[in-house]
Structure 1
């Protein structure tokens, strides 16, 4: 049985050679990708090379690209591989846990197996906060629970390699994108509890909180920006019409809201289809689904808005803000995972054609 251990490494510590040795002794064939660490780290990689296949990027290209480089190598050099495990290079993942997740991947072929840590005790504040935020964002975005969205210990069978190579992202955002795409393409995920190991308070991590967090949440930010543009359009048209129809009394509210939404929906659909989700779905089909969603949201939005203004006496401008915030998450989830969802192909295995 061929078990491959893929380790992306950027400026690794002295523990890397020992990690590869232990993996080798445990029956893994380690593959290490030096992601442009530089000459100062050659001694570490040379020692690791006694036990592993060593690939090198001339310059730093990011964790996502390093993983893709390793996966492409594995697909070519180990066509008979049974299972692949990815591990971080900083010693946070034990060989025992690598064996456990690889065993689960063999039992659950076609699924992505995640080695999930326990965040209750002894976790550095930065890691706890980062994982808490990404767990919440992921759940709001997909409706699915993942207890450790940032784990680098993952296992899968080779049939997932084409899918993993097709996922966008070159740096830390890649691993979050994989989870988002698994949900979008209906690829099952399994969780296996693992040890929570942090060495020196996770000081070896190269994760830049501000820069890399932006990359991780970029697609959600794009959707929020698109929604904001749509909202400004909607709110501007609504405010103008609400002022002009004041003399109509109660009917002025639904007339203003429906007219404004018709204009903003056209703007929002175009931006989301071409820039946010980059969908290849038929524009006619996507438009039919989108405007059906828009009509449903508009109905709920208008009913809630009319109730707040006409029945509760709320300020009509503040009430509009409240209703928009209420329906934001509903719109995001339906658009991402229904209207602009990337379909899995007929073979049901991956979302990319194998050349």
Structure 2
């Protein structure tokens, strides 16, 4: 297994150094995919990413767009697995070794963070996740997807790129859930690692309440009709 860490980044200059330092502590090579943050941030990014590869996308295309770019760059450099971790330091960075150990034990699987929420979690986020959990049971006819929205994962790149080459996968906040359902449909095992998630006062969120909820609703519609096609033998 050859692992690289991918950080999709959009204007999280304050927290990005903490994430990079945590990854470097585990001797992981790092790719930061800056999703069109703009010229104002470029000098700071260059300094922060002195121990990482920095890729600058010219326009903001969304988290999924950045991750797709990162997957292809990682595969082109010979990596077999990619650790996805957000730039906002919301994930529990001490749990990075847990995900790596799980990937080493089951390299054919997707290793997924299963978030454990505290009292600081916004209620709207929790309700939204419960709705997505319900739809994922419908899409997969199972309870195997414990959480579709947590972007703290290790992906097996070959299977992931096969999906990206053959299926439409969302470009923004719909990406995390949609790619996971397709991995499940392709028979990729999902291994879950419990990990606390914290919400910091004053933290920057790029979730757009109206636009991203519409995108997520469209995603569930796509998955639902894809599921129906699978049931009648018209799709993989």
TM-score, structure 2 length as denominator? Answer: 0.88
CA pair 22-184 structure 1, distance change in 2 beyond 3 A: closer
Q: Is the CA contact 2:160–2:183 (under 8 Å) kept in the aligned structure 1?
A: no
CA pair 336-199 structure 1, distance change in 2 beyond 3 A: farther
Q: Is the CA contact 1:26–1:95 (under 8 Å) kept in the aligned structure 2?
A: no
Residue 337 in 1 paired to residue 230 in 2? Answer: yes
Instruction: Give the CA deviation at 1:144.
Output: 2.3
SS in 1 for 2:188: coil
Count of residues in Structure 1 that have an aligned counterpart in Structure 2: 233
Instruction: Give the CA deviation at 1:110.
Output: 1.8
C-alpha separation in 1, matches of 2:83 and 2:47 = 21
C-alpha separation in 2, matches of 1:131 and 1:93 = 16
CA pair 87-125 structure 1, distance change in 2 beyond 3 A: same
Counterpart for residue 284 of structure 1: none
SS in 2 for 1:118: strand
C-alpha separation in 1, matches of 2:172 and 2:81 = 24
Residue segments in structure 1 that go unaligned for 5+ positions in a row? 225-275, 278-332, 344-355
Q: CA RMSD in A?
A: 2.3
SS in 2 for 1:199: coil
Alignment of 1:318-329 (within 5 A): none
Counterpart for residue 182 of structure 1: 183
Equivalent residue in structure 2 for 1:113, among 105, 111, 114: 111
Residue 20 in 1 paired to residue 9 in 2? Answer: no
Q: Is the CA contact 1:111–1:189 (under 8 Å) kept in the aligned structure 2?
A: yes
Instruction: Give the CA deviation at 1:342.
Output: 3.7
Q: Which has the higher strand share?
A: 2
Q: Is the CA contact 2:117–2:196 (under 8 Å) kept in the aligned structure 1?
A: no
Structure index of larger Rg: 1
CA pair 341-172 structure 1, distance change in 2 beyond 3 A: farther
C-alpha separation in 1, matches of 2:118 and 2:138 = 22
Structure with the bigger RCO (C-alpha within 8 Å, sep 6+) is 2
C-alpha separation in 1, matches of 2:197 and 2:155 = 21
Instruction: Give the CA deviation at 1:22.
Output: 2.4
Alignment of 1:55-74 (within 5 A): 55-74=55-74
Equivalent residue in structure 2 for 1:131, among 125, 129, 132: 129
Counterpart for residue 91 of structure 1: 89
Q: Which has the higher helix share?
A: 1
Counterpart for residue 161 of structure 2: 162
